[in-house]
Homo-oligomer: A and B are copies of this chain.
Amino acid sequence: MLDRLSLNQITTERLSLPEAVEACRRHGIGRIGVWRHKLTAAGAREDGRMIRDAGLRVSSLCRGGMFPAATAEERRARIDDNRRAIEEAESLGTDTLVLVCGPAPDRDIAAARTMVADGIAAIVDDARAAGVRLGIEPLHPMFAAERSVITTLGEANDLGARFDPNVVGVVIDTFHVWWDPGLYKEIARASGRILGFHISDWLVPLPDVLLGRGMMGDGVIEIRRIREAVDAAGYSGSVEVEIFNRAIWDGEAEAVLPLLRARYQDCCA
């Protein structure tokens, strides 16, 4: 299982991409999930080469999406940005672009959901041509007003079903979906469309909405049970550890990565 472990680099938020790659290499983590704002001045192609030269592979690029906007002009600008994200994913050498779909520009969440569908439709051909798949990541409903109007795996499955499963799928993150009474049914339904699996834990009490995710084992999520369901649905790809947590961000990678590896074994593998 350890070969499936990937460091989503937001977990080591203070590190540059080369530093995160070097930390992974040192701690025997063979995959990395890259964020666009962490790409270096050398560009995605050089960064991809640097990662491969270190013996790592890129599990995904975060993130495209953010489709809803108040004006048609702004929506076009967002679509253009998604096209750049697809190019960067291709250049970097990963076949998966994670989509965080975006909040509504006003109170009309139904209209925003339509804008998300329209936005994905606008970039599907670009993604196919680039050999990049688009992974719709449903975010926890507490982010509905600020980050994503796509809030459940059921909704992501419904949205994905409108498109070619070779191009559009879903990304499942334990933190976002663990509470859902329909979770296991929807994981099974996502079979053939699961493009990524992210793990972190839900702390009690929740320390912070954005920066309160926990290290696996420190919270209440049945991470292994969810991983087993995802695997049973046919997924055998990377397991990215993606933790937005102030204390972990402030910690030293030399301490965080060994802990992350151990907890992955204890709680997920």
Q: Is A104 an interface residue, CB under 8 A from the partner?
A: yes
Q: Is A108 an interface residue, CB under 8 A from the partner?
A: yes
- The CB with the most chain B CB atoms within 10 A, among A113, A149, A204, A220, is that of A220
- Given A152-B181, A179-B151, A180-B151, residue A142 in contact with residue B206 (CB < 8 A): yes
- The CB with the most chain B CB atoms within 10 A, among A149, A181, A204, is that of A181
Give every chain B residue within 8 A of A142 (Cβ-Cβ): 140-142, 206, 209
Q: Give the oligomeric copy count.
A: 2
Give every chain B residue within 8 A of A107 (Cβ-Cβ): 220-222
* Assembly CA distance A222 to B113 (angstroms): 15
- The count of chain A contact residues (Cβ–Cβ below 8 Å) is 33
Give every chain B residue within 8 A of A50 (Cβ-Cβ): none
B180 touches A141 (CB 8 A): yes
B145 touches A220 (CB 8 A): yes
B146 touches A204 (CB 8 A): yes
**Chain A interfacial positions (CB closer than 8 Å to B):** 103-104, 106-109, 113, 140-142, 144-146, 149, 151-152, 154-155, 158, 178-182, 202, 204-206, 209, 219-222
